[in-house]
C-alpha cells in the first residue's frame, strides 16, 4: 500500500525540481547582470591604471579611422602614429594645447564647470542670432577639458545620434578615472601623443614629420600654435597650409601661451 504513495511523492519532487529550474536560471542571469557593472568598473580602472605606466600602442580613434578607411575600400591607408615622451617633444606643444583648449587644466579635476557655463551662454547667443538671420549656426563653442578629450580619444568614439549620450556617460567615467589615477603631466603627455592633427595623423611626432619633415623636439612655437589651432576640427583645417581662421587663432594661442607662463608652465604640473 505504501509503494503508490512513494511513487506519487517522487513524481511530485520531480515536478517541483522541473518547475524551479527556470527560476534558478533566471536568478543566475540576474546575478550576472548585477555583476556586469562591477566587472566593467574594475576592468576599466585596471585599464586606466596600466596606461599610467604603459604607452598606448594605439587608441580607439586610430582603430576606428582604420576600419573607416577599409570600409571605404582604401586598404592601403595607414594611420601615422609615433609615440614621443613629453621630454622628447618641443615643450611649446603641450603649452599650446593648454592655451588653446584648457587654460584651467592645472586646477580642475577633469571638468571645468565655469567653462561649461560660458560655452552654453555663448552657444545660446549664436543659435538665437542664426535663427534671427535665417542662417545655419556656425562654430559653437565646446567646453571639454584635455582630460575629457584624452578619455574620448583613448577609449571611446565620436558618438553621433543615439550613441552620443552613451559615449558622454562613459566619457565622464573614464575622465574621473584618469584624473584619479594619473598625474597631470601624464594626461598632457598622452593627449599630445593621441590628439588628431590631420586626417589619420595622430600625435606630435606624426604631425611634425608629416607637415614639416622634422622631429617633434624641433617644433617652433608658431608651428605648435598652428597644430593647436586646428583642434577640434583637424580634418577641416590644415596646420601646414593655414587659412585666415587658423592663422588668426594661432596668433591668439601664441599670446595666450605667454600669458600662462610659456614653457615654464610645465614645471607647475604635478
Mean residue pLDDT of the chain comes to: 87
pLDDT score of 141: 62
pLDDT digits (tens, 9 = 90+) for 153-189: 999 988 777 788 888 999 999 999 999 999 999 999 9
What pLDDT shows up at residue 9? 52
Rounded CA-CA distance 164/91 in Å is 34
Domain range spanning residue 40? 1-54
Q: Evaluate whether residue 121 is within a structural domain.
A: no
> Which H or E run includes 196?
strand 196-198
Query: How many structural domains are present in the chain?
Result: 2
**CB 112: neighbour CB atoms within 10 A?**
22
- Decide if 126 is inside a domain: no
Q: What is the DSSP letter of 175?
A: H
Task: Tell me the C-alpha distance between 253 and 258, whole Å.
Answer: 9
Give the count of beta carbons closer than 10 Å to the beta carbon of residue 26: 10
Task: Say if residue 160 is in the same domain as residue 42.
Answer: no
Q: Is residue 42 part of a domain?
A: yes
Q: Are residues 35 and 95 in the same domain?
A: no
Q: Give yes or no: residues 49 and 162 share one domain.
A: no
Preceding omega of 232 cis (within 30 degrees of 0): yes
- Give the residue among 82, 104, 85, 270 at the shortest CA–CA distance from 182: 270
As a whole number, mean pLDDT of residues 20-42 equals: 80
Residue 191, SS3? helix
Q: Are 245 and 237 a contacting pair, CB within 8 Å? A: yes
CA distance 165 to 167: 5
Question: Which of these ranges, 124-128, 145-149, 253-257, has the smallest mean pLDDT?
Answer: 124-128
How far apart, in Å, are the Cα atoms of 86 and each of 37, 46, 83, 190? 35, 23, 10, 9
Task: For residue range 78-127, list pLDDT tens digits in order.
Answer: 999 999 999 999 999 999 999 999 999 999 998 887 877 776 776 666 76
185 neighbors 270 (Cβ within 8 angstroms): yes
First-residue to last-residue Cα distance in the chain: 86
Asked if 157 and 219 sit in the same domain, the reply is yes
User: Which residue among 38, 54, 70 closes a domain?
Assistant: 54
In a domain, 133, yes or no: no
Same domain, 191 and 244: yes
Cα Rg for the chain, rounded, in angstroms?
26
Return the CATH number at 179: 1.10.3810.10
What is the pTM assigned to this prediction?
0.84
Judge whether 234 lies within some domain: yes
Residues 209 and 260 in one domain: yes
Instruction: Give the pLDDT confidence score for residue 35 in this predicted structure.
Output: 79
Alpha-carbon dihedral of residues 223, 90, 230, 175, nearest 10 degrees? -170
Q: What is the structure's pLDDT at 1? A: 46
Stretch 123-139: mean pLDDT, rounded?
68
- For residues 47 and 158, membership in a common domain is answered with no
Amino acid at each position: 500500500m505504501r509503494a503508490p504513495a512513494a511513487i506519487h511523492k517522487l513524481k511530485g519532487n520531480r515536478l517541483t525540481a522541473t518547475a524551479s529550474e527556470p527560476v534558478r536560471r533566471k536568478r543566475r542571469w540576474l546575478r550576472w547582470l548585477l555583476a556586469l557593472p562591477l566587472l566593467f568598473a574594475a576592468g576599466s580602472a585596471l585599464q586606466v591604471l596600466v596606461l599610467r605606466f604603459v604607452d598606448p600602442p594605439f587608441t580607439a580613434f586610430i582603430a576606428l579611422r582604420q576600419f573607416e578607411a577599409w570600409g571605404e575600400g582604401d586598404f592601403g591607408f595607414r594611420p601615422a602614429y609615433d609615440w614621443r615622451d613629453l621630454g622628447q617633444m618641443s615643450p611649446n606643444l603641450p603649452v599650446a594645447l593648454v592655451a588653446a583648449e584648457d587654460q584651467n587644466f592645472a586646477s580642475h579635476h577633469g571638468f571645468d564647470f565655469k567653462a561649461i557655463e560660458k560655452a552654453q551662454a555663448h552657444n545660446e547667443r549664436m543659435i538665437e542670432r542664426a535663427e534671427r538671420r535665417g542662417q545655419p549656426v556656425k562654430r559653437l563653442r565646446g567646453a571639454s577639458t584635455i582630460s575629457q578629450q584624452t578619455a574620448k580619444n583613448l577609449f571611446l568614439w565620436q558618438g553621433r545620434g543615439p550613441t552620443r549620450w552613451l559615449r558622454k556617460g562613459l566619457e565622464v567615467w573614464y575622465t574621473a578615472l584618469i584624473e584619479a589615477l594619473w598625474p597631470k603631466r601624464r594626461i598632457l603627455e598622452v593627449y599630445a601623443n593621441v590628439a588628431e592633427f590631420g586626417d589619420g595623423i595622430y600625435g606630435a611626432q606624426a604631425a611634425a614629420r608629416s607637415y614639416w619633415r622634422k622631429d617633434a623636439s624641433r617644433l617652433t612655437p608658431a608651428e605648435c600654435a598652428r597644430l593647436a589651432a586646428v583642434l577640434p576640427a583637424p580634418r577641416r583645417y590644415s596646420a601646414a597650409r593655414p587659412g585666415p581662421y587658423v592663422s588668426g587663432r594661432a596668433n591668439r594661442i601664441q599670446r595666450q601661451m605667454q600669458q600662462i607662463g610659456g614653457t615654464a608652465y610645465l614645471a607647475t604640473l604635478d
